[in-house]
A and B are shown apart, each in its own frame.
Chain A
Amino acid sequence: MIEAARAAIARVRELFQRRRLAADLDDELRFHLEQEIQHNVARGMSATDARRAAMLSFGGVQRFREETHDARGFVAAERVIRDVRFTLRRLRRAPAFTAGVVGTLGIGLGAAAGIGALVYGVMLRPLPYVDPERLIRVSLITPGLGTTSTDHSPGTLKFFGDRARSFTELGGYYENDGVAITDGDEPERTTAAMVTPSVFRILGSVPALGRLFRDEDAVSDTVPVLVSYDIWQRRFGGDSAVIGKQIELNRGRRTIIGVLPKDFDFPSRAVGVWYPSGDRAKRADLTSRSVLGIGRLRRGVTVEQADAELAALVPRLPERFPELSPNVMQQSGIRATVTTLRAAIVAPVRGELTLLGLMVGIVLLIATVNVATLFLLRAERLRGEIAVGRALGASGGAIIQRFVIEGVVAAVGGGAVALPIAAAAVSTKLGFTTGEIPRLHDVHLGGKEIAVVSAITLIVGVVLGLVTAARAGAGGASDALRDDRRSVTAGRTWRRTQEGFVAVQIALALALLLGATLMGQSLLKLRRVDIGFTPRNRATFDAALPFSAYPTYQRTVAFHFEVMRSLAAQPGMGNVAAAMRLPLIAGQSSLQHRIQAAGDPTRNQEATAQANVVSANYFAVMGIGLRTGRSFAPGDLAGTPSVILSTSLARELFAAADPLGRSIRLVSDPAYPAYRVVGVVGDVFGERIPDGVIRVLYFPLLADLAPASLIKAPIPYNPSVHYIVQSTLPIGTLAPAFRQAVALIDHRVPVAGVKTLDAIVSSATARTRLMMFVLAVAAVATALLGAIGLYSVVAYAVAGRATEFGVRLALGATEPEIVGLVFRQGAIVLVAGLTMGTVTSLAGSRFVQRVLYNVDANDPMAYVCAVGVMFAAAAAAAFFPARSAGRTDPARTLRGS
Chain B
Amino acid sequence: MARTDTNEHVLQGTLDLLILKTLSLAPMHGWGLTHRIQELSRDALQVGQGSIYPALVRLEQRGLIATEWSTTENNRRAKYYRISPAGRRAMGEELASWKRFVGAMDLVLGATS
In the complex, the answer to whether B79 meets A59 with C-beta atoms within 8 Å is: no
A831 in the interface, Cβ–Cβ < 8 Å?
Answer: no
Question: Per-position contact with A for B33-69: 1 when CB-CB < 8 Å, else 0?
Answer: 0010000000000001110011001101111000000
With A31-B29, A35-B31, A57-B49 known as contacts, the answer to whether A72 contacts B79 (CB < 8 A) is no
Residues of B within 8 A of A68 (CB): 53-54, 57
In the complex, the answer to whether A59 meets B49 with C-beta atoms within 8 Å is yes
CB of A6 within 8 A of chain B? yes
Nearest A residue (CB) for B60 = A10
**Given the complex of chains A and B, what is the CA–CA distance between A39 and B35 in angstroms?**
10
Partner of B50, one of A6, A7, A11, A63: A63
* Bound complex: CA A59 to CA B60 (Å): 23
Determine which residue in A6, A28, A58, A63 has the highest number of CB atoms from chain B within 10 A of its CB, and name it: A28
Contact present for B57 and A72 (CB under 8 Å):
yes
Q: Report the nearest A residue to B86, measured CB to CB.
A: A3
**CB < 8 Å neighbour of B53 from A3, A29, A39, A57:** A29
Contact call B31/A64, Cβ cutoff below 8 A:
no
| Most chain B beta-carbon neighbours within 10 Å: one of A7, A57, A68 | A68
Q: Give bound CA distance, A71 to B52, whole Å.
A: 12
Q: Is the interface of A mostly helix, strand, loop or mixed?
A: helix
Q: How long is the Cα–Cα vector from A602 to B57 in the complex, in angstroms?
A: 110
Contacts of A28 in B (CB 8 A): 29-30, 53, 78-79
Whether B78 lies near A31 (C-beta < 8 A) is yes
Q: Could you say which of A24, A31, A39, A72 has the most chain B C-beta atoms within 10 Å of its C-beta?
A: A31
Point out the residue from B54, B62, B76 that lies within 8 Å of A31, measured CB to CB. B76
| B61 in contact with A31 (CB, 8 Å) | no
Complex CA distance for A71 and B56, rounded to whole angstroms: 10
Question: A36 — nearest CB in chain B belongs to which residue?
Answer: B31
With A63-B50, A75-B1 in contact, is A6–B63 under 8 Å at CB? yes
Are B31 and A31 in contact, with the CB atoms below 8 A? Answer: yes
B contact residues around A7 at 8 Å (CB): 61-63
A38 — nearest CB in chain B belongs to which residue? Answer: B74
Min CB gap B66→A, angstroms: 12
- Given known A-B contacts A31-B29, A32-B30, A35-B31, A72 and B49 have beta carbons under 8 A apart: no
Chain B residues near A11 (CB-CB < 8 A): 61
A57 proximity list for chain B (CB < 8 A): 48-49
The CA-CA distance from A812 to B48 in the complex, in Å, is: 74
Assess whether B57 is in contact with A71, with CB atoms less than 8 Å apart: yes
Whole-angstrom distance between the alpha carbons of A6 and B86 in the complex? 12
> B1-54: which residues lie under 8 A (CB-CB) from chain A?
1, 29-32, 35, 48-50, 53-54
- On whether the beta carbons of A67 and B29 are closer than 8 Å, the reply is no
Q: How far is the CB of B4 from chain A (nearest CB, A)?
A: 14
Q: Decide: B53 and A31 in contact? CB cutoff 8 A.
A: no
Instruction: List, in ascending order, chain B residues with CB within 8 A of A75's CB.
Output: 1
A contact residues, total (Cβ < 8 Å): 28
Report the Cα distance A828→B57, complex, angstroms.
Answer: 63
Contact (A6, B62) CB under 8 Å given A24-B79, A28-B79, A31-B76: yes
Q: Which residues from B are CB-within-8-Å of A35?
A: 31-32
Q: Is the CB of A3 within 8 A of B63?
A: yes
B31 touches A32 (CB 8 A): yes
Closest Cβ of chain B to A521, distance in Å, is 66
Given contacts A32-B30, A57-B49, A64-B50, contact A71 B77 (CB under 8 A): no
Residue A70 at the B interface, CB < 8 A?
yes
Q: Which of A23-53 contact B (CB under 8 A)?
A: 24-25, 27-29, 31-32, 34-36, 39
| Complex-state Cα separation, A67 to B56, whole angstroms | 12
Question: Chain B nearest CB: distance from A52 CB in Å?
Answer: 15
CA distance A29 to B49 in the complex (A): 9
Interchain CA distance A36-B77 in the complex, whole Å: 15
Interchain CA distance A27-B49 in the complex, whole Å? 14
Which residues of A sit under 8 angstroms from B78, Cβ to Cβ? 28, 31
Instruction: Tell me, in angstroms, the Cα distance from A6 to B49 when the chains sit together.
Output: 26
Report the bound CA distance from A282 to B20 in whole Å. 95
Give the CA-CA distance A25 to B53 in the complex, in Å.
9
Provide the residues of chain A in CB contact with B29, threshold 8 Å.
Answer: 28, 31
Of all chain B residues, the one with the shortest Cβ separation from A31 is: B78
Task: Say how far A62's CB is from chain B's closest CB, in angstroms.
Answer: 11
Q: Which of B32, B49, B58 contacts A71 (CB 8 A)?
A: B58
Q: How far is the CA of A64 from the CA of B30 in the complex (A)?
A: 13
CB distance from B62 to the nearest CB of A (A): 6
B80 to chain A, nearest CB (A): 10
Measured in the bound complex, the distance between the Cα atoms of B36 and A39 in whole Å is: 13
**CB < 8 Å neighbour of B49 from A3, A10, A34, A58:** A58
A3–B30 CB distance below 8 A: no
With A and B bound together, what is the CA distance between A721 and B108 in angstroms?
Answer: 112
The residue of chain B having its C-beta at the shortest distance from the C-beta of A9 within the complex is: B61
CA distance A39 to B39 in the complex (A): 14
Q: With A31-B78, A59-B48 given, is the CB distance from A72 to B31 under 8 Å?
A: no
Most buried by A among B49, B58, B79: B49
Docked CA distance A71–B78 (Å): 21
What are the residues of chain B within 8 A of A3 when measuring CB–CB?
A: 62-63, 86
Chain A residues lying within 8 Å of B76, measured Cβ to Cβ, are 31, 34
In the complex, which residues of chain A have a beta carbon less than 8 angstroms from the beta carbon of B79?
A: 24, 27-28, 31
Tell me how far the C-beta of A728 lies from the nearest C-beta in chain B, rounded to whole angstroms. Answer: 85
Q: Write out the residue numbers on chain A whose beta carbons fall within 8 Å of the beta carbon of B57.
A: 68, 71-72
Within 8 A of B (CB), among A437-455: none
Contact call A10/B61, Cβ cutoff below 8 A: yes
Chain A, residue nearest B48 (CB): A59
* Chain A residue, CB-CB nearest to B51: A67
The complex places the Cα of A855 from the Cα of B69 at a distance, in Å, of: 85
- CB-defined contacts of B30 to chain A, threshold 8 Å: 28, 31-32
Are A72's CB and B53's CB within 8 A? no
Q: CA–CA, A67 to B48, complex, Å? A: 13
B12 to chain A, nearest CB (A): 11
A3-B62, A3-B63, A28-B79 known; A59-B50 Cβ under 8 A: yes
Contacts of B63 on A, CB cut-off 8 Å? Answer: 3, 6-7, 10
Chain B residues with Cβ below 8 Å from A31 are: 29-31, 76-79
A70: B residues at CB distance < 8 A: 1, 54
Q: With A and B bound together, what is the CA distance between A35 and B52 in angstroms? A: 15
A27 near B77: Cβ-Cβ < 8 Å: yes
Q: What's the minimum C-beta distance from A18 to chain B, rounded to whole angstroms? A: 13
What is the CA–CA distance of A14 and B35 in the complex, to the nearest angstrom? 28
**Which chain B residues lie closer than 8 Å to A24 at the CB level?**
79
- In the assembled complex, the CB of B33 is this many whole angstroms from the nearest CB of chain A, namely 10
CB proximity of A78 to chain B, nearest CB, Å: 13
Q: Collect the chain B residues with CB atoms within 8 Å of residue A59's CB.
A: 48-50
Q: Which residue among B58, B60, B61, B76 has the maximum number of chain A CB atoms within 10 Å of its CB?
A: B61
- Kindly state the separation between the CA atoms of A294 and B37 in the bound complex, as whole angstroms: 85
The CA-CA distance from A6 to B62 in the complex, in Å, is 7
Option from A36, A58, A72 in Cβ contact (under 8 Å) with B61? A72
Kindly identify, within residues 724 to 742 of chain A, every residue whose CB is under 8 Å from any CB belonging to chain B: none
Query: Would you list 7 pairs from A and B whose C-beta atoms are within 8 A, ordered by A residue?
Result: A3-B62, A27-B77, A28-B78, A35-B31, A68-B53, A68-B54, A75-B1
Which residues of A pack against B, CB within 8 Å? 3, 6-7, 10-11, 14, 24-25, 27-29, 31-32, 34-36, 39, 57-59, 63-64, 67-68, 70-72, 75
Q: Which 8 A-B pairs have the closest CB atoms?
A: A35-B31, A71-B54, A32-B31, A71-B57, A10-B61, A67-B54, A7-B61, A28-B79
Given A6-B62, A7-B61, A32-B30, 4 further pairs, Cβ under 8 A: A3-B62, A10-B60, A32-B49, A59-B50
